[in-house]
């Protein structure tokens, strides 16, 4: 006897569409009522309470400058984090809201940008910091946005079973066979 719960003919179109959308290995698309935290669940599960001090990132390379102190200050790093969050939000037309990025990874990017593009002049420090911040944000936002898109596609693929291809169809509708030709 067939259980009526699994009889597809008794389902409405909405119920059938819901069953098709929830037939994957694991359901990552629904939030299960969790509206707190990062909606994309992109953050690590390991909580680190300490943040590394980046004031000495160029130790043994160059003499410390005022520009370096300002650029690698926690206040400026938080400003860059906020600009990255806003940049990804704007680029996705308000669809994705991300959390703060890893401070160590951001420091590596900031250090690379600083070593490549800093003017190291003692005048106009604010303008130099703003220019460096813009370079960091312009580097990070497209990469993070593409990673968010990839993660969302992964969630969709894991949550749904792929549809198998249709069976092949015969293109010959005459249903005629060839006559046997005798060669002798």
User: Rounded to whole angstroms, how far apart are CA atoms 129 and 53?
Assistant: 18
Question: Is residue 2 situated within a structural domain?
Answer: no
Per-residue pLDDT of the chain (184 residues; tens, 9 = 90+): 444 444 555 556 666 566 556 666 666 666 554 444 444 444 555 555 445 555 555 555 667 789 999 999 999 999 999 999 999 999 999 999 999 999 999 999 999 999 999 988 889 999 999 999 999 999 999 999 999 999 999 888 888 877 788 888 877 666 666 667 777 5
User: Rounded to whole angstroms, how far apart are CA atoms 95 and 102?
Assistant: 21
pTM of the shown model:
0.64
* Containing structural domain, residue 108: 11-159
* Both tokens assigned to 152: 């969302």
Question: Is residue 176 situated within a structural domain?
Answer: no
Query: In which residue are the tokens 């160059």 written?
Result: 62
User: Rounded to whole angstroms, how far apart are CA atoms 155 and 27?
Assistant: 8
* Both tokens assigned to 149: 């898109």
Question: Is residue 165 situated within a structural domain?
Answer: no
Question: Is residue 183 situated within a structural domain?
Answer: no
* Structural domain count, the chain: 1
């Amino acid at each position: 006897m067939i259980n009526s719960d699994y009889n597809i003919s008794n389902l409405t179109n909405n119920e059938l569409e819901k069953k098709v959308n929830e037939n994957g290995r694991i359901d990552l698309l629904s939030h299960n009522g969790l509206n707190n935290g990062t909606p994309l669940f992109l953050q690590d599960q390991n909580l680190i309470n300490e943040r590394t001090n980046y004031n000495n990132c160029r130790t043994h390379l160059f003499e410390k400058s005022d520009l370096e102190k300002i650029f690698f200050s926690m206040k400026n790093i938080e400003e860059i984090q906020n600009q990255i969050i806003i940049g990804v939000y704007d680029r996705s037309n308000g669809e994705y809201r991300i959390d703060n990025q890893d401070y160590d990874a951001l420091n590596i990017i900031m250090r690379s940008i600083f070593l490549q593009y800093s003017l190291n002049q003692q005048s106009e420090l604010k303008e130099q910091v703003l220019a460096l911040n813009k370079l960091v944000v312009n580097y990070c936002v497209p990469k993070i946005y593409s990673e968010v898109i990839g993660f969302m596609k992964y969630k969709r693929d894991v949550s749904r079973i792929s549809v198998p291809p249709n069976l092949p169809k015969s293109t010959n509708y005459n249903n005629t066979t060839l006559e046997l030709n005798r060669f002798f």
